[in-house]
Amino acid sequence: MANFATNDNKRVFYATQGVAVGDKAATAAIDPYTSRGGTMSSVTGKVAVVHGLQSMGVTTNFNLEQIFELGQLSLYENREDIPEIEVTFEKVMDGYPLVYHLGTVTAANATLSGRANARADVRAVIGFDTADQIQRASDNSGVAELYCSGMYISSVSYNLATDGNFTESTTFVGNDKNWFTDDSGNNLLVGANGLINSVFDSSLFGADAPVGNNSSVLRRENVVIGTDGLEFDGSTTFRTVVPSFIEGATAGATGVAGPGGTGLQTNCSTIPDGGRLYLSSFSCSVDLGREAINQLGKRVPYYRYVNFPVDVTVDLETTAVGGDNINAAEESQNLSNHSIQIVCDDSTVFQFGNKNKVTSVTYGGGDAGGGNATVAYSMTNSNDFVVLHSGDPITVNAGSSGVNYWKDYFDG
């Protein structure tokens, strides 16, 4: 056994932390692109370095049950049940693989049910607070490693707004967490004497940069609008489509196509380039509500299942150029199903199927104090949540097994 580097840190801050997420029981660490913006590498049996990470939080809850007995006031036993581990990440969307995808390496396909059984390892390295980056070097600067094994994706959300960077937020849940300060355990990112894993070479952190279009983090200009769309596999056209009731939509216009480019879908419209539909923000979220299944003879749950059906929430806000176009009559059915798909030019595609309905609409702003009126639509569906990206590890698996990855998952 050899200890890691002597810890003389006065603090831990952003430059001293590196994170990798990937396959359960991974035995190697990689940078998921073989070159900047290049071909995706297989992450099977590996963890992949996360780029563009803004924050990480780790919460551990110990579940205690107080047991008393007749005959004494004092506690009989303070029984400890299995601990609950929660790891949260926020990442900018930058062209690199999404955390949601790195956490579901073994997914059968891109749908919620296809990703439901995938489990992940989450690892983090802490280095010297005097170093400029996490890097394998002669000074052996690794002081600690976090290892959370067998984690499940519990929730995921995305926020695309006009006034900032596009972000991804993910939460993992599990029951096993270790902090290593020596090489006596299942350490991977830090070795004996604090030698950091070779994946953190001089070409990784220190000179890292986004690989989105124009080598930039995604912002408002990276949403694809208009009828042309984009192809990410050389054959399938993906277009941003929103509900047709939004003011400025042109559902009947020539060239309007469905999410996969195969035809007009349900009550939807592209966003006309140069038109009057001004989308100012989009966000989506899903909470998978993981619940444990236990068995006699074992302390650890053998499975944490997704409690289907789950609610998928989509929020759209527009700059008002008219009313909200949602009528509400007390003696009739008011709502229809709508298709929603949002496309970004780095190959990120959000698909929410064809059965989205409005849960609320708010018209506000434009008051005498100044400012513009806005219309905010909250919509929901059940279980229809697909996120595609060229850096999804299952694209490698799909290519080898003949599964079609780039498609409309809700067409027909």
Domains and CATH numbers, the chain: 14-63+76-213 (2.30.110), 223-401 (no CATH)
Query: Quick one: average pLDDT of 164-182?
Result: 97
pLDDT tens-place string over residues 67-110: 999 999 999 999 999 999 999 999 999 999 999 999 999 999 99
Residue 252's pLDDT band (cuts 50, 70, 90): low
> Higher model confidence: residue 336 or residue 404?
336
pLDDT tens-place string over residues 2-29: 899 999 999 999 999 999 999 999 999 9
Give the pLDDT of residue 403.
65
| % the chain with pLDDT above 90 | 79
Give the pLDDT of residue 171.
99
DSSP string covering 282-336: EEEEEE---EEE--TT-SS-SEEE--SS-EEEEEEEEE-SS-------TTS----
| % the chain with pLDDT above 70 | 94
pLDDT tens-place string over residues 18-61: 999 999 999 999 998 755 556 788 899 999 999 999 999 999 99
pLDDT tens-place string over residues 307-339: 999 999 999 999 999 999 999 999 999 999 999
Query: Quick one: average pLDDT of 235-248?
Result: 91
For 326, other C-beta atoms within 10 Å of its C-beta total 16
Structure tokens at 231: 């192809």
Q: What angle do CA 180, 186, 188 make, to 5 degrees?
A: 85
pLDDT at 259 over 70: no
Q: Is the distance from CB of 99 to CB of 89 less than 8 angstroms?
A: yes
Strand partners, 153: 172
Give the pLDDT of residue 404.
84
For 346, other C-beta atoms within 10 Å of its C-beta total 25
Task: Name the average pLDDT for the chain.
Answer: 92
Q: What angle do CA 62, 123, 56 make, to 5 degrees?
A: 70
Q: How far apart are CA 316 and CA 37, in angstroms?
A: 30
Strand partners, 87: 58, 172
Give the pLDDT of residue 45.
94
Give the pLDDT of residue 254.
47
> Higher model confidence: residue 303 or residue 262?
303
> Higher model confidence: residue 326 or residue 253?
326
Give the pLDDT of residue 258.
57
Query: Quick one: average pLDDT of 336-350?
Result: 95
DSSP 411: -
Count CA within 13 A, CB hemisphere, residue 264: 12
Q: Is the distance from CB of 258 to CB of 339 less than 8 angstroms?
A: yes
Give the pLDDT of residue 396.
84
